[in-house]
């Protein structure tokens, strides 16, 4: 199911995409002729009302179903069109060599570094600035990163203790929480680490699927640490926190995340704010950047001389 369900969702979305876009358009020049010949010509419409006036008249140089260029051309089936579309997207992405001012390396993404700057205006309202960023919520990203580290340490500790019990002959099967923890870590790694091999320009938003798994890992780690893991030198039923204390910790974390979201909301939505305030909040969007830049310029070249800035 872990493979079948994502594949079904992806292929279903691609099929829906092609069904909703049955007509030829300006972007078709990127596709091979068999793909373009499965598309029809958009009907003629009234420019004022949008009402359909009748079928389109094929032009001499058109490439679509009903055009002279597609006579004798067998149109692609839906599965073949999905395959052709994915192959074209893959080749187009592989051909991107140009860098971008707001691109970032995969190793920076768990820290929420390098927001993507979408739009700005200095005349949106009086003397205020309007800016739109795709940026991390520092609290949410911090919780995810901390949760990943905590869950990894807890699972490694559990693995070591299981090894010791196995040598003593007292080993038991791993509980479901441990199995789920490894599943979350593997899912996070599969969604993030393959970008280490991607040479084209990439951005912070490529990390969002793995961010979701990191937040689940944080919840599992918190539950395991405070409730399921007994404190040392206490009775087995003792825990580091009561359920009410756990609820309070979670509520405080959610409140901090909500406050951070409201603080940065003008930069997320492009609301007018004063120029000095806009610059100050933009710097706070990326609190880890100075440290990461120092690591990139001093530590990474010393340890990995052949690693480029894009691969970092």
pLDDT digits (tens, 9 = 90+) for 121-137: 887 887 888 999 999 99
Q: Which two tokens stand for residue 116?
A: 């993507």
Maximum pairwise Cα distance, the chain = 86
Residue 45, SS3 per DSSP: strand
What's CA 228's distance to the chain center, in Å?
31
Examine the pLDDT at 22 and tell me if it is beyond 60: yes
**For residue 85, what are the CA distances in angstroms to 18, 30, 77, 89?**
10, 10, 12, 6
pLDDT of residue 308: 58
What's the CA gap between 133 and 118, in Å, rounded?
6
**What span, in angstroms and rounded, lies between the C-alpha atoms of 270 and 268?**
6
**Could you tell me if 151 and 221 are in contact, meaning their C-beta atoms sit under 8 angstroms apart?**
yes
Three-state SS for 40?
strand
Q: Across all residues in the chain, what is the average pLDDT? A: 84
* Whole-angstrom distance, CA of residue 138 vs CA of residue 144: 10
Q: What is the pLDDT of residues 152-196, one digit of tens each?
A: 998 888 888 765 555 544 445 455 667 788 999 999 999 999 999
pLDDT of residue 111 exceeding 50, the answer is yes
| Residue 197: closest CA among 92, 82, 301, 93 | 93
Q: What is the pLDDT of residues 203-239, one digit of tens each?
A: 999 999 999 999 999 988 888 777 654 444 444 444 5
pTM over 0.75: no
Nearest alpha carbon to residue 111 among 298, 309, 281, 288: 288
């Amino acid at each position: 199911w872990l493979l079948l369900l994502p594949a079904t969702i992806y292929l279903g979305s691609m099929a829906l995409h092609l069904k909703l876009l049955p007509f030829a358009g300006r972007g078709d020049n990127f596709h091979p002729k068999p793909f373009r010949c499965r598309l029809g010509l958009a009907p003629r419409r009234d420019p004022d009302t949008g009402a359909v006036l009748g079928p389109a008249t094929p032009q001499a140089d058109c490439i679509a179903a009903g055009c002279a260029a597609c006579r004798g051309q067998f149109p692609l089936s839906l599965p073949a069109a999905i395959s052709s579309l994915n192959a074209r997207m893959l080749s187009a992405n592989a051909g991107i060599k140009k860098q971008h001012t707001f691109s970032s390396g995969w190793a920076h993404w768990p820290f929420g570094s390098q927001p993507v700057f979408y739009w700005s205006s200095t005349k949106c309202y009086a003397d205020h600035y309007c800016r739109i960023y795709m940026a991390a919520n520092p609290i949410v990203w911090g919780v995810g990163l901390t949760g990943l580290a905590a869950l990894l340490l807890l699972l490694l500790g559990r693995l070591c203790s299981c090894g010791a019990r196995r040598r003593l002959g007292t080993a038991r099967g791993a509980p479901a929480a441990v199995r789920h923890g490894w599943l979350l870590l593997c899912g996070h790694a599969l969604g993030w680490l393959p970008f280490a091999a991607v040479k084209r320009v990439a951005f912070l938003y490529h990390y969002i699927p793995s961010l979701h798994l990191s937040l689940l890992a944080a919840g599992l780690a918190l539950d395991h640490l405070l409730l399921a893991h007994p404190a040392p030198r206490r009775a087995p039923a003792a825990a580091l926190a009561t359920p009410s204390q756990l609820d309070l910790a979670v509520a405080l974390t959610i409140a901090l995340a909500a406050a951070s979201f409201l603080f940065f909301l003008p930069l997320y939505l492009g609301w007018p704010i004063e120029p000095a305030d806009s610059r100050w909040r933009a710097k706070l969007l990326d609190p880890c950047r100075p440290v990461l830049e120092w690591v990139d310029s001093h530590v990474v070249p010393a340890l990995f001389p052949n690693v480029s800035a894009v691969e970092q």
